[in-house]
Amino acid sequence: MSRVCELTGKGPMTGNNVSHAKNRTRRRFLPNLNDVTLISDTLGRSFKLRVSASALRTVDHRGGLDTFLAKAKDAELSDKALKIKKDIAKAQAAA
């Protein structure tokens, strides 16, 4: 399982551990990923996604999964999230 957020594309970054003596060694900064179940209001079903904590706050701020995916760029989304976005768009067009 890769350490990449399915909604924002946020992944590991690299940097340095810096000691008191200013010795530098390479390290990785991992994103804060959580396995969550998000509910789509339009489709009326839930989806399990691996999402960063900041993306989860953004989903809540925008008012749910449907509105978040509507505003999200396709390049940032995972294949699973892109399929959910297209299903929601189809359902909204049919309604």
CATH of the domain at 47: 2.30.170.40
CA dist., res. 25 & res. 37, Å (int) = 37
User: What domain count does the chain have?
Assistant: 1
In a domain, 53, yes or no: yes
From residue 91, alpha-carbon distances to 6, 13, 49 in Å are 22, 37, 20
CA dist., res. 3 & res. 5, Å (int) = 7
In a domain, 72, yes or no: yes
Q: Which residue matches tokens 């396709």?
A: 74
What is the per-residue pLDDT for 21? 98
In a domain, 4, yes or no: no
SS3 state of residue 49: strand
Instruction: List the chain pLDDT tens, one digit each, 95 residues.
Output: 789 999 999 999 999 999 999 999 999 999 999 999 999 999 999 999 999 999 999 999 999 999 999 999 999 999 999 999 999 999 999 98
pTM above 0.75, yes or no: yes
